[in-house]
Amino acid sequence: MNGATGEFCLTTPEQLRTILATVQQASAGKAEILCGVGAAGVVQARELASIAEHAGVKGLLLPMPYFFPYQQEDLELFCREVATSTQLPILLYNLPQFTSGLEKETVRRLIVEVPNIIGIKDSSGSLEILRDLTQHGVDACRIVGNDSALAPALCEAVCDGVVSGVACALPEVILEIYQSEPESADFVRVDALLREFIAQLDPFPTPWGLKWAAEARGILRATFSQPITEHRTEQHMALNAWLAEWLPAALVHQSVQKVSR
C-alpha cells in the first residue's frame, strides 16, 4: 500500500490509517501488507512508519525523500535514520523518476550494514542494482518495481518478485508471466501483451491510466486528485476504445488456462 501508484506524496497520516484499516479488513488475514512511507523528510517518514507498525503491517517500503535533489551520502543517512526508528523490515524504494536515484554501492552498503534494511524495490527500469546484489552474493530481497523490467529480470534470475502497478488492473497478465517458463513461447507472448498495455499507459500519469483500465474492467470507478482536462478526457476515450478491442483478446488465454486447471 501507499507506493507511487498509490500517489503516496498526497497521502496524509490520517488517510494512511484509513487505507491500512480498510485493507486489513478486506484481506481478513489472507495478506501480508507492505506499506510505503514516502515523505519529504525523516520526521514525516518516521511518523508514517509508526502508523504502519501500529497497524500491523509486515514491512515498510522506503522511497527516497522527494522534491529536492540529494547526493548519495544524504540518501544513505536518511535511510539509516528512518531504519533506527522501527523494528520492521525495510525495502529501499528506488524511484529515480520522482526522487533522487540510488546507486548500487549505496544500496549494497545499506543492506549489508543496516540489519532491518533487507532489500530493494527497484522501479528505475534498469537491472543494474539487482544484478549487482546478485553478483556480490548479498542476501537481499530483490523486487522489480517497473513492470517493463520484469521479464528480463526473470530471465536473468536477478529478482525474487514484483510490486506491480499493472497487476492493479491486469493481475492475470502478471500471474501468467510467473507461470510460464522464462523465454518460452507463452512467456514471450504474455510479455508482448504487457508491453502493449504499458505503451498505452505511457501518455498518462501512471495512476490515471491504471484507474481507467480498472474502470473499463468494472473493478472500480476512477477518481482523481487532479482536475481532468478536455484533452485528457479525449485521451481517456481513445484508451477505452483500445481496451474494448484489446482486453478480450488479451484475457482469453488466461481464461482458458484457468478453466484447464
Active site (catalytic) residues: 93, 121
Q: What is the C-alpha to C-alpha distance for residues 55 and 18, in angstroms, rounded to an integer? A: 10
DSSP letter at 195 equals H
Strand partners, 162: 144
**In the chain, which ranges are continuous DSSP H helix?**
13-27, 42-54, 72-83, 104-113, 128-135, 150-156, 171-179, 185-201, 206-216, 230-260
Cell output for 44: 514525516
- CA-to-CA separations, 6 to 25, 55, 151, 251, in angstroms, rounded: 18, 18, 23, 25
